[in-house]
Amino acid sequence: MSDYQIRFDPRLEINPADFVAAWNDSADYKTVAEAQTDSAAVDFDSSAAKALTLLCGIAIGVTTNTVYDLIKSIVINLPTVQKTLATQTLPERTEFVDIQQIEQPDGTTLLIVIMKEH
């Protein structure tokens, strides 16, 4: 099992509690990992990303791409993101966001959900 820390691009205006609730309300998602907010997290660059969320206990055998797809699915269905999506013309809604992975020196995996430039 592994854990991921997630940061959201401030332009997405994501409330971490909304992401956590959406993730944990889905039985399918919760079998992959449990989401929780981390208010004690150290801010690494508040201009680049905010709203730290944790995915804890990711099940063995779940690929990183699967986790990325699940995160994107939750993000693009949040009301604040839906509002922004309404102003975009994209062939695929999932093309609206991208995820960057950064391995921290302490072994932690940080995922940054960013809004793509179009």
Q: Taking the domains of the chain in order of start, what are their residue ranges?
A: 2-115
Q: What is the pTM of this model?
A: 0.78
pLDDT in tens, 101-111: 999 898 888 99
Cα separation, 58 vs 54, in Å, equals 10
pLDDT in tens, 65-97: 888 999 999 998 888 888 777 776 655 555 778
DSSP 43: P
Residue 20 has pLDDT above 90, yes or no: yes
Residue 16 has pLDDT above 70, yes or no: yes
Cα separation, 37 vs 45, in Å, equals 18
pLDDT at 47: 47
Question: Which residues 6+ apart lie within 8 Å of 87 measured at CB?
Answer: none
Question: What whole-number percentage of the chain has pLDDT above 70?
Answer: 80
